[in-house]
């Protein structure tokens, strides 16, 4: 929904709705990453940007950690663990 547009970046889930109007590329370009792990996209276009500094306040939670040796597929939908500290 328009009020609940989230993506994950480096295992942290963010609701991007409040950031849409500030994104230099516009809101439309962000829509392709919604509901997915956008880490690769962010690193491709914004490697030098402090993402947490810009959208850290929009954090919803963390994706569950994967056991060593397991890989989570890019774009794979998964449940979010809401809350928690960024450093845990």
Residue 76 is encoded by which pair of tokens?
């794979």
* Alpha-helix residue ranges (DSSP H) falling in 1-88: 27-30, 39-46, 51-55
Q: Which residues pair with 37 in a beta bridge?
A: 8
Predicted confidence (pLDDT) at residue 76 exceeds the cutoff of 70 = no
Model confidence pTM above 0.85: no
pLDDT tens-digit profile of 31-67?
888 999 999 999 999 999 999 999 999 999 999 887 6
Write down the pLDDT at residue 67: 66
């Amino acid at each position: 929904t328009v009020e609940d547009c989230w993506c994950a970046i480096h295992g942290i889930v963010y609701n991007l709705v409040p950031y849409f109007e500030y994104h230099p590329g516009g809101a439309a370009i962000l829509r392709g990453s919604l509901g997915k792990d956008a880490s690769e996209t962010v690193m491709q276009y914004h490697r030098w940007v402090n993402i947490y500094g810009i959208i850290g306040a929009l954090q919803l939670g963390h994706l569950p950690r994967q056991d060593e040796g397991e890989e989570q597929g890019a774009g794979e939908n998964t449940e979010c663990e809401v809350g928690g500290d960024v450093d845990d």
